[in-house]
Chains A and B, each alone.
Chain A
Amino acid sequence: MNMEGNEKKIKDKFHKVTDESSPKSKLLKNCICAFIVGGIICDIGQFFNNYLIGIGVSRDDTSSWVTIIMIFIGALLTGIGVYDKIANFAGAGTVVPITGFANSIVSPAIEFKKEGYILGVGAKMFTIAGPVLVYGIGSSIIVGVIYYFVSR
């Protein structure tokens, strides 16, 4: 059929036009934004680290405290509705640090509270963080097993 042949031509052209029309993510700009914001978050962590060591807290306790403080900041900024705005600018810069992990758990917890505490908050809290935990813990076990044999 002539019509179908015609549409096939359009279809081929469509992919070319779509590639031209649709803008790509600005990789360089996003990397720079991620570097700056991610860097600032790490600086804040380092600040608390230095401060706690400065007042005489042991190194092991310091790393626990810094983790707790950073998770608190991430959760707080999520709760007051600021974290997602920073993230839209920062991209990976806010996802990778531990504050991003806090955000990924607190945001569904807020969102799904309306479906109740058990099947809402309880069931949905790990929808985003769940895969990270599964593969994070999973790969750490594999690495641990390898380490066990290598270090014997």
Chain B
Amino acid sequence: MINLGKRVGKQTIKLDSKPKIISAYSVVGPKEGEGPLSDYFDLILQDDLNGQKSYEKAESSILYNAITECLKRAKLKESDINYLLAGDLLNQISSSNFAARDLDIPFIGLYGACSTMTESLGLGALLMEGGFANYIVAATSSHFSSAERQFRFPLEYGSQRHPTAHWTVTGAGAMLLGKQGNFPYITYVTTGKVKDYGITDVNNMGASMAPAAIDTIKQHFEDTGRKPQDYNLIATGDLGKYGKDITLKLLKEYGYDIEKIYIDCGDEIYGTNQETNAGGSGCGCSAVVDCGYIYKNIMSGKFKRVLILSTGALLSTTSSLQGETIPGIAHAVSIEFGE
């Protein structure tokens, strides 16, 4: 009988069975492929429609690709997998639903906006810890063009991008959890609370999500008794250049200085010459950086202990028109390798 995980502190579960991430796969669009992390992505699309008729179909197809390639890499069949946990940004999480339609895997759809990567990975790890599954896939996707048309303007509409605006990442990432083998493993899952400090500007997503990231990081340290120096890397999802800055400054107010080990996936994924302003965003942003850059560097031994937090802005097009502020959420997953 395996040891069951236990709750530590207010919001964290310590996983004694240490579920392993036995494979990961990332697919990105052409623009992301031109960015500084291009060497770490598994597949770079030449055509952001991926041979499909619409951007929604394209997003669904890259999510499907990421999941199936992730399984192939571990030499597993769809029928070996007990759960697929996935979500995306589109209404009714349609990209995930339609990708799951073609898969022979029991499916749980999640919505956590751009926090979906660590939401699905964290939940998957808890299901593994409970002994409810042998293999679980956690996956998510986003597409610049499908997100633009749902949340903003038509692609060809001429408008000036705000300096704090983000660029939705075209990409999908999938991670496969298993029990056996020498792979990076998950030790802690800290579930975040929804935080809303009153940002109403939809062009400043970084600021709207920063409070949630700050709160979850602080809570993770409090719950686990760990300190910033216990980690080689702390990576938030898509706060971008300015949200990252806010997070660093305010965590210092709580007494945590993470400056030396802190990156933001949205800040890293594009080069400064790519005119994305604040940086990348979308579920795919943290998914492809986690599955690409971070997972590969953990495997190579560069990082031994990593805390990943995907961050989500929980707004809808209706809520912002009705003057609602933008709530944020962030979930943390601690990944370790070696020893």
Is A38 part of the contact surface with B, judged by Cβ < 8 Å? no
Contact between A88 and B156 (Cβ–Cβ < 8 Å)? no
Kindly name the residue among B160, B214, B242, B254 whose own CB sees the greatest number of chain A CB atoms within 10 A: B160
- Of B156, B214, B215, B246, the contact of A21 (CB 8 Å cutoff): B246
The contact sample of 22 A-B pairs, CB cut-off 8 A, is: A9-B253, A10-B250, A14-B210, A14-B250, A18-B210, A21-B207, A21-B245, A22-B163, A22-B164, A23-B164, A23-B242, A86-B158, A87-B158, A88-B158, A103-B158, A104-B157, A107-B156, A107-B157, A110-B154, A110-B156, A111-B155, A112-B149
Return A43 CB to nearest CB of chain B, in Å.
19
Return B250 CB to nearest CB of chain A, in Å.
6
Is B297 part of the contact surface with A, judged by Cβ < 8 Å? no
Q: Mark A122-144, 1 if CB is under 8 A from B, else 0.
A: 00000010000000000000000
Contact between A78 and B156 (Cβ–Cβ < 8 Å)? yes
A25 in contact with B162 given A15-B197, A18-B207 (CB within 8 Å): yes
**Could you say which residues of chain B place their CB within 8 Å of the CB of A6?**
254
Is A59 part of the contact surface with B, judged by Cβ < 8 Å? no
Kindly name the residue among B158, B164, B242, B253 whose own CB sees the greatest number of chain A CB atoms within 10 A: B158
- Of A10, A87, A108, A128, the contact of B214 (CB 8 Å cutoff): A10
Return B201 CB to nearest CB of chain A, in Å.
9
**Could you say which residues of chain B place their CB within 8 Å of the CB of A49?**
none
Our count of residue pairs bridging A and B at CB distance below 8 angstroms stands at: 103
**Could you say which residues of chain A place their CB within 8 Å of the CB of B246?**
14, 17-18, 21
Residue on A nearest B158 in the bound complex, by CB:
A87
Is A13 part of the contact surface with B, judged by Cβ < 8 Å? yes
- Of A21, A88, A104, the contact of B160 (CB 8 Å cutoff): A88
Contact between B163 and A24 (Cβ–Cβ < 8 Å)? yes
Contact between A84 and B204 (Cβ–Cβ < 8 Å)? no
How many chain B residues touch the partner (CB < 8 A)?
Answer: 33
How many chain A residues touch the partner (CB < 8 A)?
Answer: 41
Is B153 part of the contact surface with A, judged by Cβ < 8 Å? yes
Return A39 CB to nearest CB of chain B, in Å.
16
Q: Report the separation of the CA atoms of residues A103 and B210 in the bound assembly, to the nearest whole angstrom.
A: 35
- Of B159, B210, B245, B249, the contact of A87 (CB 8 Å cutoff): B159
Give residues 196-218 of B contacting A (CB, 8 Å): 197-199, 204, 206-207, 210-211, 214-215
Residue on B nearest A83 in the bound complex, by CB:
B158
Contact between A128 and B153 (Cβ–Cβ < 8 Å)? yes
**Could you say which residues of chain B place their CB within 8 Å of the CB of A13?**
250, 253
A84 in contact with B156 given A11-B197, A14-B197, A23-B242 (CB within 8 Å): yes
Return B312 CB to nearest CB of chain A, in Å.
18
Q: Report the separation of the CA atoms of residues A87 and B162 in the bound assembly, to the nearest whole angstrom.
A: 12
**Could you say which residues of chain B place their CB within 8 Å of the CB of A103?**
156-158
A111 in contact with B197 given A10-B250, A21-B246 (CB within 8 Å): no
